[in-house]
A and B are shown apart, each in its own frame.
Chain A
């Protein structure tokens, strides 16, 4: 549904997005991850046709966004960053206007407004002026606007920004549900969100894709992924360490903590070790040695760790600009 080819955007001398290429099909939820200023919003603005790219192409549903923007824009629902809306209108007035500009009239319009009001829990504020709403409601009003025409493509720029935990949860569920039938791109810097919602994630840093894969694949790339933690009682740390030297799948091990009654050891896998092989071997060893194992588990690897390892923090990337 969405095809992006070598997309590039320069602001003066500064390259905000550099050679971005990817595709998103129906039924996929692509998460855009990246530190502030990475170029997420700029990319989305180009995909939705708000700003023209310096170079590269965007196709939505087969329509070229630059050559043939109107049919391409018809297919898209867009929630811009900070969820703007016309402050002087009521929620109902605003949604009706958006439906009308999307070509809905009469009964269809009423039904569409009713549907999104229900989906985004706006019943209570329907006839309230938008500038009197709390941030959460304003955000959901703009989200409602983006799905009013039941679009095939949804572009959501930080859709859960500024919501409370319950609202965040609701919006994530909504995105996940809609993701079954639509092609969705959403940006966030909350990593748990990616795990909860995305079928695929892309990490962007300084305008370039630095990693791309399912959340599980990305997690597996974290430094700590596959590391086994072992806690045994009644044995000295040095004894355990010595025996661990015989484990084939282990690269190295280290004592994290030694108490009188128990010892905590971390064992790092050799790179080719997968599927809990390391844990199996350690478990066999512990059985042979009759250790009193209190805990044995393999670290899954964490997305935030991986994220930190491949992106520069804000301040640093500002310096290199």
Chain B
């Protein structure tokens, strides 16, 4: 990647990120995320935060795949459908940039926004550190996992938003895809498959495609290269497909 493509990506990402804060959407999103995560962490589950009585954030991170399932597509759904609806895609793609730079720039901006949202949960880290002596390494690992998972959801949402001008359809499509990718590794589902007599190796293969399987490792504080590869593959594949879809629209 040379200097000018980095410059183009930065310019595009900056514009996109500014766009989030130009409207109340960004603030509303952050507040809803914090409320939902807070609610789940403190109120729900068989081991809510307070009752657990230990300085760990398990009950916090465990809800991330589910909260992101709805909130990330809400961010991602407009990324390309909005460009197509407004017609600005015609401006964007006739400027001296490549489609890849546009795709990556827009993705990175939204991902940075999600990072910011995650950072806004810092009071909970301070709380557990105040209450006891948590393993901050594990917490950091879980944050990395959560961030990568959010990125994967986002890349999928970018892809579905390239398919259609209609943001609602884009939202539903990405929710469905992400939901399937959660389910195929969700323990109740894999256990159910086992009772059906599906062979263990097949179940493992399916489960290895799931966000859950890979997010679990991060939650336990294990930074495995293969999990990193998984998330980056999902992101790479989705962004690549976004490019293919955008090109096929233009080809008519």
Does A111 make an interface contact (CB < 8 A)? Answer: no
How many angstroms from the CA of A189 to the CA of B146 in the assembled complex?
55
Interface SS of B by simple majority: helix
- 8 Å CB contacts to B: which residues of A196-217? none
How many angstroms from the CA of A98 to the CA of B98 in the assembled complex?
15
CB proximity of A70 to chain B, nearest CB, Å = 5
Does A239 make an interface contact (CB < 8 A)? Answer: no
Task: Select B88's contact among A49, A84, A100, A103, beta carbons within 8 Å.
Answer: A84
How many angstroms from the CA of A151 to the CA of B120 in the assembled complex?
44
How many angstroms from the CA of A89 to the CA of B95 in the assembled complex?
18
- In this complex, the interface size class of chain B, counting residues with CB under 8 Å from chain A, is 20 to 34
In the complex, what residues of B have CB within 8 A of residue A145's CB? 91
CB proximity of A137 to chain B, nearest CB, Å = 16
In the complex, what residues of B have CB within 8 A of residue A78's CB? 90-91, 94
A80 and chain B: residue at smallest CB distance: B90
Number of interface residues of A (CB under 8 A): 35
In the complex, what residues of B have CB within 8 A of residue A98's CB? 91, 95
**Cβ contact within 8 Å between A80 and B91:** yes
Does A309 make an interface contact (CB < 8 A)? Answer: no
How many angstroms from the CA of A88 to the CA of B86 in the assembled complex?
11
**Cβ contact within 8 Å between A70 and B18:** no
**Cβ contact within 8 Å between A51 and B250:** yes
Which of A7-15, A244-252, A312-320 lines the interface with chain B?
A7-15
Task: Select B250's contact among A52, A71, A129, beta carbons within 8 Å.
Answer: A52
Given contacts A51-B251, A52-B251, A73-B96, contact A101 B87 (CB under 8 A): no
Q: Mark B114-146, 1 if CB is under 8 A from A, else 0.
A: 000000000000000000000000000000000
Given contacts A51-B252, A100-B11, A101-B11, contact A89 B91 (CB under 8 A): no
How many angstroms from the CA of A188 to the CA of B22 in the assembled complex?
35
**Cβ contact within 8 Å between B96 and A50:** no
How many angstroms from the CA of A204 to the CA of B14 in the assembled complex?
41
Q: Mark B1-37, 1 if CB is under 8 A from A, else 0.
A: 0001001100110010011001100000000000000
A51 and chain B: residue at smallest CB distance: B250
Given contacts A80-B87, A84-B87, A84-B90, contact A102 B252 (CB under 8 A): no
CB proximity of A77 to chain B, nearest CB, Å = 9
Q: Mark B87-107, 1 if CB is under 8 A from A, else 0.
A: 110110111111000000000
Task: Select A86's contact among B88, B94, B96, B251, beta carbons within 8 Å.
Answer: B88
**Cβ contact within 8 Å between A88 and B22:** yes
In the complex, what residues of B have CB within 8 A of residue A49's CB? 93-94
Does A45 make an interface contact (CB < 8 A)? Answer: yes
Given contacts A80-B87, A84-B86, contact A50 B251 (CB under 8 A): no
**Cβ contact within 8 Å between B97 and A101:** yes
**Cβ contact within 8 Å between B93 and A86:** no
Given contacts A86-B19, A89-B22, contact A102 B250 (CB under 8 A): no
In the complex, what residues of A have CB within 8 A of residue B22's CB? 88-89, 129
Does A233 make an interface contact (CB < 8 A)? Answer: no
Q: Mark A126-143, 1 if CB is under 8 A from B, else 0.
A: 000100000000000010
A71 and chain B: residue at smallest CB distance: B96
**Cβ contact within 8 Å between B90 and A50:** yes
CB proximity of B22 to chain A, nearest CB, Å = 5
In the complex, what residues of B have CB within 8 A of residue A129's CB? 22
Does A281 make an interface contact (CB < 8 A)? Answer: no
In the complex, what residues of A have CB within 8 A of residue B251's CB? 51-52
13 sample A-B contacts, Cβ–Cβ < 8 Å, listed by A number: A49-B93, A50-B250, A73-B94, A73-B96, A76-B94, A78-B90, A84-B87, A85-B86, A89-B15, A89-B18, A89-B22, A101-B96, A142-B91
Known: A80-B94, A85-B91. 8 other contacts (CB 8 A): A50-B94, A50-B250, A71-B96, A73-B94, A97-B15, A98-B95, A101-B95, A101-B97
Q: Which residues of B contact A (CB under 8 A)?
A: 4, 7-8, 11-12, 15, 18-19, 22-23, 86-88, 90-91, 93-98, 250-252
Q: Which residues of A contact B (CB under 8 A)?
A: 9-12, 45, 48-52, 70-71, 73-74, 76, 78, 80-82, 84-89, 93, 97-98, 100-103, 129, 142, 145
